[in-house]
Amino acid sequence: MAITQPIRNRKDVRKLEAYYSTRGEWRNNMLVVCSVHTALRISDLLRLTWDDVYDFDRSIFRKEVVLNEGKTRKEKSFPINKRMLAALKRCVHFAQRGQALFLSRKGGSIGRIQAYRIIRAAAEALQFCFRVSCHSLRKTFGYMAWKNGTSPAVIMEVYNHSHFAITRRYLGVAKDDTDEVYFLMATIL
């Protein structure tokens, strides 16, 4: 099995986020946006319900999401950022209490395979020359955070990793990234 890599180009991330919105496929757009901006495993993302993101009694979106991760059983909380909020707002008029956030035609949440198909179809249509999967989007979050100066220790905490070696592998540090350090040092020293 090939190792899934993060998307390394911000423009490609934006294209992927926009792919389904330009087609009016709001649930699929919401899936891509939330996959990139939560750093959740797809299994945890697909367990979310509208109650996790929306307060039906007050008719407002929650400021943060709190859940227990399936794999680690650790509690995780994260704020709903503006990109996620925009995607959620486009779908909230369909929302009902207790309903899966990523509702399938049969009721309940879409499955992991369907989520993969949605993300893969967009990547193929955009002619990405690299493999993109649900896990790519989780890794993209950390890679982009790292490239923008976030400490790997903080990224490790976001991912709930127990060892830095796992986080380092997630970041997908490539030869281009290490070469960049050498060029940067030429300007500093």
CATH code, residues 10-188: 1.10.443.10
Helix boundaries (H) for the chain: 10-21, 26-38, 42-46, 50-53, 82-89, 112-125, 134-147, 152-159, 164-171, 175-188
Q: Taking 70 as the threshold, does the pLDDT of residue 114 lie above it?
A: yes
Pairing, β 64-68 against β 60-61: unpaired
Task: Look at residue 2 and tell me whether its pLDDT is greater than 70.
Answer: no
Q: What is the pTM of this model?
A: 0.89
The 3-class secondary structure across 62-113, one letter per residue, is CCEEEEECCCCCCEEEEECCHHHHHHHHCCHHHCCCCCECCECCCCCECCHH
Rounded Cα gap, residues 38 and 56, in angstroms: 22
Cβ atoms of 137 and 118 within 8 Å: the answer is no
User: Which range, of 13-22, 61-70, 100-109, 161-170, averages the lowest pLDDT?
Assistant: 161-170
Token pair in block for residue 88:
């959620």
Name the strand (E) or helix (H) holding 55. Answer: strand 54-55
Residues 92, 129: Cα–Cα separation, whole Å: 34
Q: What is the pLDDT of residues 118-135, one digit of tens each?
A: 999 999 999 998 889 999
1, pLDDT greater than 60: no
Residues in the chain: 189
6-63 pLDDT, tens per residue? 899 999 999 999 999 999 999 999 999 999 999 999 999 999 999 999 999 999 999 9
> Looking at per-residue confidence, does 140 or 168 come out higher?
140
Whose structure tokens read 């087609």?
Answer: 23
Does residue 189 have a pLDDT over 90? no
Two structure tokens written together for 159: 């991912």
Task: For residue 5, give the nearest of 175, 125, 154 by alpha carbon.
Answer: 175
